[in-house]
Amino acid sequence: MRAWAAGVGLLLAALAVDAWAAVEVRGVRLWRAPDNTRLVFDLSGQVQHSVFTLTAPDRIVIDVNGAQLRTPLDRLAFGDTPISGLRAAQRTPDGLRLVLDLSKSVVPKSFTLAPNQQYGHRLVLDLYDQVPSVAPELPPTRVVSRPVPVPVPVPAPIPVVSSPKSAAKATTPLPRGKRDIVVAIDAGHGGEDPGAIGPQGVQEKSVVLAIARELQQQVNAEKGFRAELVRAGDYFIPLRERTEIARKKGADLFVSIHADAAPRSSAFGASVYALSDRGATSETARWLADSENRSDLIGGVGSVSLEDKDRMLAGVLLDLSMTASLSSSLNVGQKVLSNMGRITSLHKERVEQAGFMVLKSPDIPSILVETGFISNPDESDKLQTRSHQQALARSIHGGVRQFFQQNPPPGTYIAWLRDSGKIARGRQEHVVSSGETLALIAERYQVGMAELRGANRLRSDELKIGQVLDIPAASLAAQP
């Protein structure tokens, strides 16, 4: 009996070893971003791995325990990446060793990903040209430098076509001391993250990048505005890093473009989102808890630093900044949604609110535009056409223009036009957000309570979230 049990134990152990050794590397994919290169290895199962660097010459070694290579490596196009070659050696029974030959030193970060609807198990290696300013929220890779020779043949690299350049801004000179209004356009997903998948395999990341590029061209064609793409090609950017990129570009507005998906293919219509009140509360708490970030916190609304303020004052300033940002987000979002409703069906008539990570900037008004349901066959077909992409971009651009003509940031060309009487001040609106009272809104726009009530035919001071108020024209000159 004991012998039988021992035999069964040995058999199970052998099966376990065989199962572990059966993990295969079935594919390799590569993306180049402005500041990093991402390699993704598609696996048949979960693995353990380690990464270390070598010098003279620069190399990176990836040891994948119990894995076997089942895909060619000579089809990768390294082009403008720091990788000059990729080679492999089977280190039976220890597993697989992959070696990246480098043309310059990089900072590697590696991690594994569980299966999703699009891919199975994956091993991801990010090669940063420099130490990333906003590190991905992932476990760090243990990197050890040691001079280990790896005598494996190197395949010849194949050139890769670079990502298209961002649309250039027309160089029409502005009056001295006046600047452009900067709109950061974020095409959702990218690279390893395809986003939603529509009928016939159309990927959200490709559709929204095309719309983002079209919107950039339209914005850049208008004097006084400049559009900056957060993602200019097919590569992945961590969510929190997207808002950091916008902040570094001096953005006055952040617009994230997506194409929704739903379990039911019949779902249809465009939507616009702003940050939820719960999301705003959690984000202000996170910022206050992270003292290292305070110096950069509200640079988008007057370059006010919080690093020299005590916690209570910093909290007050941060709440004011977040409240103003959220109010502006709801305002511009409603204008964009109204314009989109003229060229496509709407999923909801009002701006929705959610805790999306890309909307959590306390100093930059931010909206997320769902251009339609890519899971709906009809909308998926429309989203892929150039004419519909142009129409969507025009509607977003129109809403953004209306908002900034009524609310131009100080020192901008558009503010100068408005103050000079060269553009009509127009009808100013305010979208009520949670916690706002009529008195607070009147104080913000420097208008009397009675005047505000009269302009909106209010019978009481009670307001509803999402309610749109007209701001009397006489008060607009006082609004910064």
Give the per-residue pLDDT at 145: 37
- CB count in 10 Å sphere of residue 372: 29
The pLDDT tens digits of the residues spanning 18-58 come to: 444 569 999 999 999 988 999 999 999 999 999 999 999 99
Evaluate if pTM is beyond 0.85: no
For residue 148, what pLDDT band results from cuts at 50, 70 and 90?
very low
What are residue 54's DSSP bridge partners?
59
The pLDDT tens digits of the residues spanning 268-325 come to: 999 999 988 776 666 666 655 554 444 444 433 334 555 555 666 666 666 677 778 8
**Which strands form 83-91's sheet, in the order they lie side by side?**
49-54, 59-65, 95-102, 83-91
The pLDDT tens digits of the residues spanning 201-223 come to: 999 999 999 999 999 999 999 99
**Which strands form 366-373's sheet, in the order they lie side by side?**
225-229, 181-187, 253-260, 366-373, 271-275, 352-354
Query: Can you list the positions of beta strands (E) in 292-421?
Result: 352-354, 366-373
Is the pLDDT at 123 greater than 90? The verdict is yes
* CA trace torsion 363, 364, 370, 371 (10° rounding): 180
Beta pairing class for 23-32 and 67-69: parallel
Give the per-residue pLDDT at 349: 86
| 137: helix, strand or coil | coil
Specify the DSSP element, H or E, that contains 397.
Answer: helix 386-406
- Domains of the chain from N-terminus onward: 23-128 (2.60.40.3500), 181-406 (3.40.630.40), 427-478 (3.10.350.10)
Q: How many residues does the chain have?
A: 480
Higher per-residue pLDDT: 60 or 434:
60
Which one-letter DSSP state was computed for residue 427? -
Q: Which two tokens stand for residue 180?
A: 């452009």
Question: How confident is the model over 129-134, as a mean pLDDT?
Answer: 64
Question: How confident is the model over 165-185, as a mean pLDDT?
Answer: 79
The pLDDT tens digits of the residues spanning 279-291 come to: 666 666 665 555 4
Specify the DSSP element, H or E, that contains 209.
Answer: helix 204-220
